[in-house]
Amino acid sequence: MAEKITNNDIVQEENLVYKKTDLLTDKSLSYCPGCGHGTAHRLVMEVIEELNAQEETIGIAPVGCSVLAYEFMDIDMQQAAHGRAPALATAIKRLYPEKYVFTYQGDGDLAAIGTAETIHACNRGENITIIFVNNGIYGMTGGQMAPTTLPGMKSSTSPYGRDVETMGSPLKMTELVAQLPGTYFVSRQAVHTPSAVRKAKKAIKKAFENQKLKKGLSFVEIVSNCNSGWKMTPNQSNKWMVDNMFPYYPLGDIKVPEE
């Protein structure tokens, strides 16, 4: 019978299984408790670390909850005007074709005010990666209706629920950009469970690796929660997301390059 193993025996460098990547700064994230943004940030940084590409990557932060992404990602970054991130990424990639260039945008930024920049960057087939975090709401400004807000879903500007007759239907940007010849890889993922995180990371990694192929734009949507905006606990919001968001925004690859 072996001696009883203590916690101290386990917590040793040689037994390390998982720790936060060094490419995330030590700054406390500005997101609400339980918000999927933090996980999405981490996955992007883990991928850049695995690609050994800290020096070769330039990121674009949007306007919205992730406006301060540059505070947390230890890479060179630019903060874009609302919705313009794909235009910024376009220019940087054209001027530095060998760098990895990505945008990190929310649904208000990408699917409302930045629709033109998004569609045209996709249509030109810019060799960039777009990470699109869709939580169906404007989080930063206090829970207003977004283009992605579900039918009937309440928000501070659709207090009686989104009425599709007067407010339109949720915009499926990801399906939309998948139609464009300029997109090379389009996928929709989530980060609410361990298996979802693993799949999301695979998609994000592919979306970065694709940049070297120079075959067009890689677009990864991450359907996420906004527990503050939805007025739920984090775990409730993740369940609500599974029950309500996923039927409208089904997970999985939407456009996969032919092998």
Partner 1 sequence: MAKVKGSIVVDIEKCKGCEVCMPACPQDVIRLAEEVNGKGYHYAHMANPDACIGCANCAIVCPDGVITVYRKKVDA
Partner 2 sequence: MKELRLMKGNEAISEAAIRAGVDGYFGYPITPQSEVLEYLMLEKPEERTGMVVLQAESEIAAINMVYAGAGAGKMVMTSSSSPGISLKQEGITYIAGAELPCMILNVVRGGPGLGTIQPAQSDYFQAVKGGGHGDYKLIVLAPASVQEMYDFVELSFDLAFKYRNPVMILSDGAIGQMMEKVEIGEQKVRLTDAQVKEKCPWATTGKDANRERNIITSLDLDSNKQELFNQKLQAKYKEVEANEVRYEEMETEDAEYIFVAYGTSARICQKSIELARAKGIKVGLLRPITLFPFPSKRLMELSKQVKGMLSVEMSAGQMIEDVKLAVECNIPVEHFGRMGGIIPSPGEVVEALEQKFL
Nearer to partner 2, 93 or 199 (CB): 93
- Which amino acid is residue 73, in one-letter code? M
Nearer to partner 2, 90 or 155 (CB): 90
Residue numbers 219-248 binding partner 1 by CB under 8 A: 233-235, 238
Distance from the first to the final alpha carbon of the chain: 54
Nearest to 250 by CA among 161, 175, 149: 175
With CB cut-offs between 5 and 8 Å by kind, which of partner 1, partner 2, none does residue 108 bind? none
Nearer to partner 1, 158 or 225 (CB): 225
- Binding interface with partner 2 (CB under 8 A): 54-58, 60-61, 67-68, 70, 73-81, 84, 87-92, 94-96, 99, 116-117, 119-120
In which region does residue 193 sit, left (phi positive, over 0), alpha (psi from -120 to 50) or beta (all else)? Answer: beta
Smallest distance from the beta carbon of 119 to partner 1, in angstroms? 30
Is the sign of the CA dihedral 48, 216, 196, 73 positive or negative? positive
Smallest distance from the beta carbon of 130 to partner 1, in angstroms? 21
Token digits of residue 17: 């299984």
Smallest distance from the beta carbon of 251 to partner 1, in angstroms? 16
CA dist., res. 38 & res. 53, Å (int): 20
Q: Are 90 and 124 in contact (CB under 8 A)?
A: yes
Positions touching partner 1 (CB under 8 A) are 2, 5, 7, 9-12, 15-21, 24, 28-29, 31-39, 42, 191-194, 197-198, 233-235, 238
